[in-house]
Amino acid sequence: MSVVVVSRNRAAMLRRCLESIEASEARATLQVIVVDNGSTDGSSQLVDEFPDVQFIRLPKNFGLTKALNLGWRAADAEYVFFLHDDTEVQPSTIVLLASALDTHSDAAAVCPLLVDTQGQPAAQLGNLPPTREWRPATPGSEPSPVEFPRGAALMLRVYFIKALRQIDERYGQFGSDADLAAEIRRASRKILLVPAARVRHEGRSGYSSLESADFLSSRAVFLGKYQGFGAGLQARIAAVLGSLVAFRLGELKYTIAGQKIDGTQE
């Protein structure tokens, strides 16, 4: 299996994430890749601490979606496990997820149960179209299908991404996980939640003006792609008006421009 961790300016979290991967079962069979999205906090120094990890360093923050594409293209294995840097895996997690894909041929992807620091289910499941709101999963005893799990920890069959050619790069920091979930559903395949596989997820509570604008732009892209041009345009107009009424001027500026995390415009 290949493990791809995307990170930016969170060296301490990345270290804990990599330490947990190093303690994983069957570590010798894992290809571990870190895509560093233009970090300036010394994250690059971790290469000396983890000599068996492949680091891909980007000159600036290109956003999550482009980093994920760089990561899976560097992967050699049949399955790729995408992780955010604010996660820690249990020793059995990666093996359990791969076994679930081996067993369930109708599944294009699997995800672990995200848990908080107390080991309780953390916010993980969302709705399509994406709203940036999450709810904890209710774990059963066996793998079960879910519509849209958070992309903080998601294992996919590489051939499925290849069939799409790539993860749609019209999304910036947000939206790639929702798009993959929608593509999997459109292909009549499943995403399975494997409750025995667990990943601790730190998560976050706030977003910058640029990040909020990036999400609004990504949501408009999603609606335009799956519900038609009119739905996408309506979402863009609503995003601008919402920012204006709430007097979120920074968000308004970026939303009008359709600016993504990497500075490009949609």
pLDDT at 242: 75
* Residue 169 vs residue 233, higher pLDDT: 169
Beta bridge partners of 257: none
Across 174-183, average pLDDT: 96
CATH number at residue 62: 3.90.550.10
CA angle 220, 225, 229 (to 5 degrees): 70
Say whether both 156 and 96 belong to one domain. yes
Say whether both 11 and 94 belong to one domain. yes
**Which pTM was predicted?**
0.92
Structure tokens, 255: 């939303």
Domain of 245 in residue numbering reads as 209-257
Say whether both 149 and 185 belong to one domain. yes
Structure tokens, 252: 């308004």
Say whether both 71 and 89 belong to one domain. yes
Residue 10, pLDDT above cutoff 90? yes
Say whether both 111 and 214 belong to one domain. no
31-37/2-7 β-pairing? parallel
Say whether both 79 and 100 belong to one domain. yes
Q: Are 113 and 44 in contact (CB under 8 A)?
A: no
pLDDT at 243: 76
Q: pLDDT tens digits for 22-72? A: 999 999 999 999 999 999 998 888 999 999 999 999 998 898 999 999 999
Q: Is there a cis peptide before residue 129, judged by omega within 30 degrees of 0?
A: yes
Say whether both 22 and 48 belong to one domain. yes
Say whether both 142 and 224 belong to one domain. no
Q: pLDDT tens digits for 202-215? A: 987 677 787 888 88
* Residue 44 vs residue 218, higher pLDDT: 218
Cα→Cα distances 174→26, 113, 243, 259, Å: 32, 21, 18, 12
pLDDT at 122: 96
